[in-house]
DNA sequence: GATAAGATCATCT
DNA sequence: GATGATCTTATCA
């Protein structure tokens, strides 16, 4: 068990990966400590065609990972906090943002937000570019067979293209942000 | 000129 | 009071 999702899982459009990512388990290992959280809210970013995506700005170094392999972790710093994303599609700088997690292992909490999520899991620039498709990485995704209802809604917290239905979250889950 | 790091202002709790 | 896919300034190439 606890086998990381294959790279092929992420080699699809963000809007296809995002909803499938819900209910999956995010594993964060810090030394011998392991945090496990269920993904309950995500947000898809398409890339160059998405005005709200960082890649749309035409960056090359800061968003380097976005242009790289799918399944890689993209750590983005917002103000004094960090945000965790996972890269999708090789050709496009698209990715999926983890907005909220439901604590499975009870050694952490307050994960109902992008910045809070990273703070709780102690995610820093050190994890930038980490391969999340390997179960020996400090950060990876594990499959789950749980049943739940997915809700699609408009994105939040951005100024451009905020009305695009690229936000997905588990219905009736107390850990979903705002 | 380009990349990296730190901060401010609006919205939500 | 806290959080948040942005913006400005500083340092390196």
Q: What is the pLDDT of residues A75-115, one digit of tens each?
A: 998 888 999 999 999 888 899 999 999 999 989 999 999 99
Proximity of residue A77 CB to strand B below 7 A: yes
Q: How far is CA A121 from the centre of its chain?
A: 13
- Max mean pLDDT range (A51-55, A94-98, A145-149): A94-98
pLDDT at A28 over 90: yes
- Max mean pLDDT range (A40-44, A55-59, A78-82, A91-95): A40-44
Specify the pTM: 0.93
Kindly indicate the confidence band of residue A32, based on its pLDDT and cuts at 50, 70 and 90: very high
Long-range contacts of A6-10 (CB under 8 A, 24+ apart): A6/A133, A7/A69, A7/A70, A7/A71, A7/A133, A9/A71, A9/A133, A10/A70, A10/A71, A10/A86, A10/A87, A10/A88, A10/A89, A10/A133
**Least confident stretch, A27-41, A47-61, A95-109, A132-146:** A47-61
Average pLDDT in chain A: 90
Alpha carbon of A25 to those of A37, A46, A142: distances in Å? 5, 23, 5
Across the range A65-83, mean pLDDT stands at 90
Proximity of residue A81 CB to strand C below 7 A: yes
Proximity of residue A57 CB to strand B below 7 A: no
Q: In whole angstroms, what is the distance from residue A6 CA to residue A143 CA?
A: 10
Q: How far is the CA of A93 from the C1' of C8 (A)?
A: 25
A26-43 burial, b for 16+ CB within 10 Å, e for fewer?
bbbeeeeeebbbbbbbbb
Which residue's CA is nearest to the C1' of nucleotide C3? A115
Token readout for A159 is: 């100024």
- Structure-token match 């170094």, residue found: A61
Percent of chain A past pLDDT 70, that is, above it, reads: 97
Shortest CA to C1' contact from A83: nucleotide: C5
């Amino acid at each position: 068990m606890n086998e990381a999702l294959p790279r092929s899982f992420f080699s699809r459009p963000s809007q296809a990966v995002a909803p499938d990512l819900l209910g999956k388990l995010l594993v964060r290992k810090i030394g011998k400590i392991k945090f496990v959280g269920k993904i309950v809210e995500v947000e898809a970013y398409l890339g160059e065609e998405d005005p709200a995506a960082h890649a749309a700005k035409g960056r090359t170094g800061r968003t380097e990972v976005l242009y790289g392999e799918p399944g890689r972790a993209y750590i983005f710093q917002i103000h004094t906090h960090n945000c965790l994303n996972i890269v999708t599609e090789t050709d496009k700088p698209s990715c999926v943002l983890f907005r909220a997690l439901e604590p499975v292992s009870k050694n952490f909490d307050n994960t109902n937000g992008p910045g809070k999520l990273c703070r709780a899991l102690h995610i820093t620039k050190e994890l930038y570019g980490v391969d999340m498709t390997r179960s020996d990485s400090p950060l990876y995704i594990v499959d789950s067979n749980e049943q739940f209802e997915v809700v699609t809604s408009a994105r939040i917290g951005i100024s451009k293209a905020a009305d695009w239905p690229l936000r997905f979250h588990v219905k009736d889950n107390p850990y979903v942000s705002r």
